[in-house]
Each structure stands twice: as structure tokens, then as C-alpha cells.
Chain A
């Protein structure tokens, strides 16, 4: 694969990573480690685990996600992330937009 394709795939994934994070948290709060593992294990997403935490922090600063700490019997306290109402609203905006984008690309591909 050439550099152009590599850079393009990186940019595409960058664009959808916030959507993925918000979607992953939609069903309930998740332990940060589990959230990161889930995203990194999702086929096709190919995100490096270490690069998700800064994104989470930024989304937290933006009021899209919230976090809380919980005691753990087998190690340090665990941080659990969940969606805020603002995050839920944002997800409701992002998801149809992304779907319309995918459909538009599909239409172009067919034509």
C-alpha cells in the first residue's frame, strides 16, 4: 500500500473515532481499560490503545463523557466512563450524519 492510502485510512478512522467512543458508551458505563480494549479489538478500527485516553480526556473536558472512580479488590481504583446527556445529544447528531455520509458514498459508488 502506498503512503497516500495509508494517510487516507488514518484520516478516515480519526474522523469516526469520537463516534465509536460515544457508541461504545451508549449502552452503559464501562471501565476505562475495558473500553479501550473493546475499541482496540473491534475489527477494522485499528486504534492504538495509548492514544484513546487523550481523546477521552478531551471529550470529558467537552462535557460529552463523565467518569467516576471505584474501588477494586485486585489493584488500583478503576475509572468508569459514561455518557453525559450532552454526549447522548451529540451522538444523536453524529450518527445520522455518518449514516447519510455512508449512503452518499454508496450512491456514488453505484453510479
Chain B
């Protein structure tokens, strides 16, 4: 009686009984349990039949199956064997024929008589061993379990795709990054690993641990392959068409093929595996599915948020921003969002199932939207969302999206073929692989009589990539400082810049640099406290050298801030070092202890040298203290002025420094996440600064209003989170200050890079309001500040006075810095003809004085007319918010673009101090020799032109101490 899930026809059942009757005879069983062998054989046959998909078993099915396992169906009693063989041949089953043929030729099973002597009956000759079963000849091999597909699609092809993607990043560069981090690399490798373990475990000599691990790995690999098959689903139809018609596209089909191989593995386990194996496989699958969901939820949520903002008609409303920001802050992926910032052509970041989902939804909903990227624009929305989520500006962030294994850095195709979409733009944007800051130097001079300082920063950009790139950076200006000279080395020769309106120099730069790809550098000042430097092209595997000069008065607190790089699209390695040289003609220099400066006073002139690290030249930068005593009246010749204004005089005799004491102070405190590091300094500054008069605090928040207002002393614990738009808070603060006397607004903030801000309300208030307001702009965290730029240009009238404040990274003295910000410099500037008499005691200084005067005059003009300010600043070779500088490669480039190159003879120089002439050197040497001889009694004083003792010598060496004089001589001789 046969009991099974299969239905047997009567003839098949009879055939099976006949087979057992013949097979299970005592001679053939040779001691085996007939019932057990019958049961085992029946199970085996049924497994074979089920695998074939047979549900109703016919005699032919039975005959074929028996033949496959090396057995044969005996003919029915009435049927001749010849007829049976003919019937099988008619069925066309070659394996059946082989089986039949083999059974007829099979040698007889060993019998007792054939056993060696001494063996028990029914054994093979060794005690306790029954006779072996019939053995087939090599020609009659049964069909082995076919593992070809598992090997091909589950092992080798995934390995090849993995290697291809790791080396070329082909998919990451065109569709999306399937392996953005090490975890995803391991996930992908799990598929071929599972296939390899399965194939090893299927061998008879496989170690037990492989047999244990195989079902687990198979389950996990099944989940991984399903996940990647889904992610590649949008590309699958195209890949199929590609394979069919072009012969390409197998790479994109790889995940799907691997999934089918993993399914085949699962089938093998269901057929041959134990219950434990099947359970392990299922557990592995669900475990990995849970892991994948956990891994992919952040990326999918981020993709969904970006997509939802993109799908809005017009600009997203504040409520949309708030919802998207909340969602991504809680559940999103920062790395996905960062990759999305690169816009439609270089996004590489459409991660997660949302990628496939959004693509499918858009495909089925409109039938037109085939664009794969989540952010279809230039990444602007993503960049704004990135700031709102993290509080950091996208600009200057590492641009290499995703994890790069070592082999990728070896080939580094991205470095060689990086497409910079922000070239020639006004944003620094992300870092360019292979572009870096090479060697450079910073030389700074301090002139005591005028209290002015100026210096040169030489920068060399290096490009290790195979394509020319544009280097961009935003450099923080020294406090009250400005750019006074720009130089570019073209073919090894320094070339001076031309100065004109921002629009004109940018036009020239775009024409010559971006379109014609020749050597220009462009410097513009987008806001009150920084300049944007752009240099293109930094040639492939080459370098580009430029120099920017800055001028700034020493602060009223004697601090001198050095320029620093706020953002850059080039890499500044942690090992970068910049030699710093600071010199003053008089006074004392006090550099921060952290710089480990080497200070020396030579001929009465203090100098200090130090090596600035990457941390010193980036971010908020470094400052030093220069204690000095300015002269009350100084003058210089203005190299740019008309004859009637050729001599510029600055007098501080009449007006002493004054301190503006505001009666109404509005504090706008950016509560974005990066500001949390300055919580203590902020709280102390607000506490100290709110003592006198009325004060109010305005805190940007995530509410619909965008601001929390607190007047007269209210100051709750600050809640820092994400990135917050300060527009509403500034607007509220300016509203509060309307009509109040001596109004001041102190804005402590981090980056404000948002493009999509609603600025018209602020614009209106700045244009229409009449209350004069002093705005102290104090960035505590470096970064793009578009809102600050807006304030500079919208406050184009005299009632808004912007005071940019440089603060250090530590901010321990923030309260003091803010107090000093209100201090006003005394002094007046006058101009006269070159031959007009000078005020008594006026000291001649270098023409940096004239440049400073021109910068202040430009600001004054800028409040009334941008055109006048631009024309005046250009004529004085200054970079201001109204004027820029551009260096072009050839003189005809200047002519063609209507620009005039600056004359190098009137360009600013950093002098060498002291400046001994040859005659002076000789004289000093002689004087030194005479002095020593007289001290030793060998010679009396010889004084040229005077017989009154040592008086002339004293006047000659005034300013030098005896010690410095003595030390200075050998030094100068050495020079």
C-alpha cells in the first residue's frame, strides 16, 4: 500500500509493486530489512517525482524515474522485455534507455559463493559487513545535483560586479551609490560568500562548521540579493533591452541574477536540508531583512523628504521646511542628504528603497518623469535642508560621497574625472578630490606711527587630478581689514590685478577662465568680513600660485587678526604648515603661546616667526597682540590721488577714541547646533551686555514664527538644534529697535547659508525704517553667511552701521570683544597738495595710510551710491563689497575685457626691516669700530660735521637702544 501526496495511476501502482517484488528478494537484499528498503526507495522515488513537478504518476513516470536512479522496471508477466524496451525508446527518454541497458549488462551481485573464505553468508568477506549493493559502471553516472547557476550567478558574477564597482565606481557615478559605506560592501560580499559556503558544504568532506553556517548565510544572502534586486528594479527593463539588443547591461542585471541563484540555493535546502537547516535559513532571511530595514530607513526617509520638497509647486512653505527638517533630523541620514546636495548630475546619493519607489511612482503617475535623482535641481533644496538638519553649511564639506575602499583610492577615477558644477559660481561648494593647498607663506608688517598693519598671504594650489579645476575659498578678513593687492604667477612671473566693479571683473573672469580656460584669479568681497577667492585653472597634475595682500588697522585692544580660510573647495591636510613672519618697526609683539613663536628683536624691530598649522589658518583663525604707540599726526603720499589731494594726513590729536554706549540692545542669538560649543561664552556676554539700558533677546526656533522673543532680561536655557534661519529673529529685533534711541543689534551666529529665505520683510524694514542701528556681526562658527551678505547690501543707507567682529575659536573673551566693538576710532583724514606745509611733528608713513583712507571713503560713498563707491575703490586698487580684483593671463585679455592692469610700482609692499642702505651700513660699521676703539682707549671720538661730543651719534641712532644697536650691527653686516 502506497501512501503519499502523489496520485498514482493503477498501472503505475502495479508497476511499483512489481518493481519491489523483483527488487526486494532475499538474494538481492542480502540481509537488509525489506520493509525499510522498500520505504526508503519509495520516499526516494517520490522526491524525484516531486522535483520533476509530477503530481499524477504514470507508469512512464515511474519507468523514467527508476532509470534515473539506476534501477529498472521489470516487465509485466504478459509483456515481453523487448516490447517494454521498445515502448521506452518510443517515449524518447535517453536516460531510461541507459538505465535499461545498464541493468541488462550489470554484473551479478556477489553471492555467498563469490565471497572470500571465512566470511559469513551474505557478507563481503569481512565479519559484520553485509554485501555491498550493485555498483554502476562509470558510463551510467546518475545526473548530479546541478549547481551551475549558483556558481555562475551567485558566486562568480557578483564577485566580478563587486570588483568592477569598487574599481570604477561606475554605478555610483551614473545611477546611485550601491555601496556607500563599509557595511554595504560586506552586504554585497555576503552573496558570493554564501554561495561559496553552500558549494563547499555540499561536498562529502566539508567541515561540520560549514554545514552549520551554510543555511544561515543562505538566508541572509537571499535577503541581501532581494534588496539589491529591488534597488536595481528601475534599471532592470533598460538592462534587459540592452542585453537583448546591444549585448550590454548584464552588470545592472547582476543583483536580479544573484537573487535567482539564491532562490535556487533555498530550493536545495528545502529538498535536502534538515528541519534545522530550513529553520536557520528562514531566521537568517528575516534577521537580515530587519538589518536592511534598519540600515535603509534613514536613507529612505531622507530621500522621501527631499523628494517631497522638490515636488512642491513653487518654493516650499515654512511649514514644509519644518516638516521635512523634523523628519530628517529624527530619522534621516546625513550622508544621504550630503550626497543629494550635489545636484542632478552628480548626486550619487539617491539611496534606499525610496529611490526605486520615487522613480516608479513618478513613472506611473505622469509617465514623463524619468529623472532618477531625488533633487532635480542644482541641489539647492538639499543644501538648504542639509543646513536646517545639521546646522553646517554644505560649502567646504568633503565632496567624496560615500566610503572609498583602498583599491578605489589606488585607481581613483573620481579624482581624475570630477565634474565641478559650481565652477565660476559664487559658492565655495564641496571639496574637489585631488585639489589641495600646497606650500605658502604669510608675511605681516606692523607700522607703529600709523597703527596700520598689512601683510601678504601666498597660496599655492595643487591639483593631483587629471582635469583642471577651480580652487575656491572664502577668507576671513582681519578685523576692519580689506584686500589691497592681488598677484598671480603666470609662467613664473608675478602679474598684478585689475580692479573694477564686481560685475565687470566677474565677467572677465568667466570669459577668460571658465570659457577660455586661461590663468585668471578673481577676488571679490561678498560680505563685510570675508573675501571670495577663485583661481582657475589649477592645471592637471600642476599648481597655481597667487598672493593676496591685506591691510588692517590694529584693533583698539591692540589685537591684530590674521586672515583665515573659512571655507574651501580644496583639501587642507592636517599636516599642512604655513610659515608665518610677523614684524613691527617698533613696539612689542605677543603671539599666542600655542603658536610656539620664535621672537627676536633685531635693530629695535621685533620680529616673530611661527609655523601655522591647518587649524590655525582655517576657521576663526589666530590673532596676536601688538603693543605700540601711534604718532598723533602722520602723513603719506597717495599714489593714486590727484595733485590737489596728493598728501594724505591723519590726525588723532583732536578726537580721542570714543565708545558708543547703546541704550537699547537687541540680541539675536543663533540657536543652531554648532553654536552649542559657545553656550557659556554667549550666556556671559549677554549677561554682561544687558546690564545698562533696555535689552531684548531674540532666539530663532523651529516654530512657525521662527523666533522666540524675550524682552528685558528674560533668558531661558538655550535650546540648540539643527540649523535655524535667523531671518525672522533679525526682523523681530529690528522691529523692536524701531524708535529707540542709541539702538544696537548684536548678532551672534554660525553659518547662515540658506538660499530660499523669505527676505522681503527684512528688505522692507531696512529700506523704510529710519532709526539708526549699529549692527555688530559676530560669527562664532565659520561658514557661509548669505544672510550677512544680504544685510550688507540692503543696509545701503547711513542708518545701519555694520561692525564685523572677529572672534577666536575659544571665545573666552567674547564679552570683552563685543564691548570693544562699540569703541570708535578717533582721528580725521585730510588731503592736500604735495607742496603744502605739513602740520608740525607729522611723521611720514607708508602709503598704506592712503589705502586705509580710501577704504573708509569707499564705505561712506557706498551708503549713498554703489557706482561712486565702485569707481573710487577701483581707482585705489581695493577689493570691497563694491569692487573686485581679477588677474588675467595676457595684456590683450585686459584690453578685450576693458580692464586696466595695476601698476606694480604703486602696489603695496611688505618692507624689509630695518632697511639699511649700503652707505648706512658702512657708516654704522665705521661707528662701531670707532666706538670699540674709544672704549679700549685707543681712539678718541671722531664725529663727522660736529664737534659737540656724541650728540649727532645719539640722534642718528635714536630709536635704537644701546643693546639693540650693538646687536644690530653684526646682524646687518651679515645681511
- Residues of A participating in the B interface, judged by any CB pair closer than 8 Å: 6-7, 9-10, 13-15, 17-18, 20, 23-24, 27-29, 31-34, 36-42, 46-62, 70-76, 78-80, 90
B15 within 8 A of A: no
Contacts of B278 in A (CB 8 A): 73
List the 3 closest pairs (A to B, CB-CB), nearest first.
Answer: A48-B70, A51-B133, A58-B130
Contacts of A15 in B (CB 8 A): 124, 132
Contacts of A23 in B (CB 8 A): 204-205
How many angstroms between the C-alpha atoms of A33 and B42 in the bound complex?
11
Using known A-B contacts A7-B107, A56-B40, determine if residue A46 contacts B136 with beta carbons closer than 8 Å: yes
How many angstroms between the C-alpha atoms of A80 and B278 in the bound complex?
14
Give B188-206 as 1s and 0s: 1 = Cβ < 8 Å from A's Cβ atoms.
Answer: 0000000000000010111
Query: Is A37 in contact with B275, judged by CB distance below 8 angstroms?
Result: no
Query: Is B136 in contact with A58, judged by CB distance below 8 angstroms?
Result: no
The distance from the CB of A37 to the nearest CB of chain B, in whole angstroms, is: 6
Contacts of B36 in A (CB 8 A): 53, 57, 60
How many angstroms between the C-alpha atoms of A100 and B92 in the bound complex?
47
Give B259-270 as 1s and 0s: 1 = Cβ < 8 Å from A's Cβ atoms.
Answer: 000000000001
Query: Is B40 in contact with A53, judged by CB distance below 8 angstroms?
Result: yes
A selection of 20 A-B contacts at a CB cut-off of 8 Å is A13-B135, A15-B132, A18-B132, A27-B211, A33-B44, A37-B272, A47-B135, A48-B69, A48-B70, A48-B133, A48-B134, A49-B70, A53-B32, A53-B41, A55-B130, A55-B132, A58-B32, A75-B47, A79-B43, A90-B128
Contacts of A61 in B (CB 8 A): 31-33, 130
Contacts of B133 in A (CB 8 A): 17, 47-48, 51-55
How many angstroms between the C-alpha atoms of A72 and B138 in the bound complex?
34
B951 within 8 A of A: no
Query: Is A10 in contact with B70, judged by CB distance below 8 angstroms?
Result: no
Using known A-B contacts A32-B40, A76-B4, A76-B5, determine if residue A48 contacts B135 with beta carbons closer than 8 Å: yes
The distance from the CB of A59 to the nearest CB of chain B, in whole angstroms, is: 7
Given contacts A10-B137, A32-B43, 17 further A-B contacts (CB under 8 A): A32-B44, A46-B138, A50-B44, A51-B70, A52-B133, A53-B44, A54-B29, A56-B40, A57-B29, A57-B40, A58-B30, A59-B130, A71-B275, A74-B50, A76-B4, A78-B274, A79-B39
The distance from the CB of B404 to the nearest CB of chain A, in whole angstroms, is: 41
B110 within 8 A of A: yes
Query: Is A33 in contact with B137, judged by CB distance below 8 angstroms?
Result: no
Q: List B residues 342-400 near A (Cβ within 8 Å).
A: none
B46 within 8 A of A: yes
Query: Is A38 in contact with B202, judged by CB distance below 8 angstroms?
Result: yes
Residue of B nearest to A38 (CB): B204
Contacts of B207 in A (CB 8 A): 27
How many angstroms between the C-alpha atoms of A23 and B211 in the bound complex?
15
Give B134-152 as 1s and 0s: 1 = Cβ < 8 Å from A's Cβ atoms.
Answer: 1111101110110000000
How many angstroms between the C-alpha atoms of A60 and B37 in the bound complex?
11
How many angstroms between the C-alpha atoms of A53 and B45 in the bound complex?
12
B66 within 8 A of A: yes
Query: Is A31 in contact with B273, judged by CB distance below 8 angstroms?
Result: yes
Contacts of B134 in A (CB 8 A): 48, 51
B77 within 8 A of A: no
Q: List B residues 84-143 near A (Cβ within 8 Å).
A: 107, 110, 124, 128-138, 140-142
Q: List B residues 14-40 near A (Cβ within 8 Å).
A: 23, 28-33, 36-37, 39-40
Query: Is B272 in contact with A46, judged by CB distance below 8 angstroms?
Result: no
The distance from the CB of B433 to the nearest CB of chain A, in whole angstroms, is: 50
Query: Is A48 in contact with B136, judged by CB distance below 8 angstroms?
Result: yes
B208 within 8 A of A: yes
How many angstroms between the C-alpha atoms of A36 and B71 in the bound complex?
14
Residue of A nearest to B144 (CB): A41
Query: Is B272 in contact with A31, judged by CB distance below 8 angstroms?
Result: yes
Contacts of B145 in A (CB 8 A): 37, 41
How many angstroms between the C-alpha atoms of A102 and B597 in the bound complex?
82
Contacts of A24 in B (CB 8 A): 204
The distance from the CB of A55 to the nearest CB of chain B, in whole angstroms, is: 5
